[in-house]
Structure 1
Amino acid sequence: MTQKITTYLWFDHQAEEAATFYTSLFAGSRIVRVQRNGDAGPGEAGTVMLVEFELAGQRFLALNGGPHFTFNEAVSLYVDCEMQEEVDELWARLTADGGEESQCGWLKDRWGLSWQIVPSRLPELIADPDPGRAGRAMQAMLRMGKIDIRALEEAAAAG
């Protein structure tokens, strides 16, 4: 079945490099198709125009569209992580080689694309029916860059 809605990412000229990197991060990921420019353009014949790829079964398109547009925080990719080790690995790999750490589980990769690397435990803790536990977990999260599950749980329990 074809995915009805697909995220379309605009890169200057690094679409294939980015798609290759992203597919290395998640099991069940792959490059589906690389479309090259023909003699009619829009880019130089033979260069990559569009890359179709899947991340954990979700389809994406990456375009080499030139420097006209760049990413900003208005759009991010949210990754639900089961374990702290997954948070740690993704955080390290996505911030490497020019990526930027931010706060509350957000970061930018080296191409400027925003990601939220969030352990599944975070929404559980901040939605705790005990408002004190939920509030302490929220306050702890607001002081974090990379989310630390153990620190969140300790903060929630510290009432």
Structure 2
Amino acid sequence: MHLAELNIGRLLAPTDDPKVADFMDNLDRINGMGKRMPGFVWMSEGSGEPGTGNTENNIGDDPQLVFNLTVWEDLKSLESFVYKTLHAKFMDRKAEWFEALDQRHFVMWWIPEGHRPSRDEALAKLDQLRTLGPTPDAFDWDFMRAGHAPDPTA
């Protein structure tokens, strides 16, 4: 099994606005670092145009509601990237670029090796988490760390 994760956010301004320029200017750098991390498997990507990441693949009709969807070999690999690399410094600055959402915006779930989740599948997992709370089928960091969604790769 591999670990999929979805993180959504609503940018404070359009992707070409100076308010989010520092985020957009570093997107390829941070995504590239993630792709080189041990345990990285796959990332949903946009057109491949420099500096766009996956931001052109927005959610619904809102061009500022963007998502990041990745797959990792295990929790340890994802956790290492999120909290122990330059990514953590940018995550600490998220309030500079993203609105505070009033509902859950991050979900993880186990998938079979080789599976590449779609945006719709990932959004359904997020909706499941929002509706039911954390379960072994759709969970957050706290649920996972408490051992309620055991890492099948450990």
Q: Structure 2-normalised TM-score?
A: 0.37
Point out the structure with the larger strand share.
1
Q: Which structure's CA Rg is the greater one?
A: 1
TM-score, normalised by the number of residues in structure 1: 0.36
Q: Which of the pair is proportionally richer in helix?
A: 2
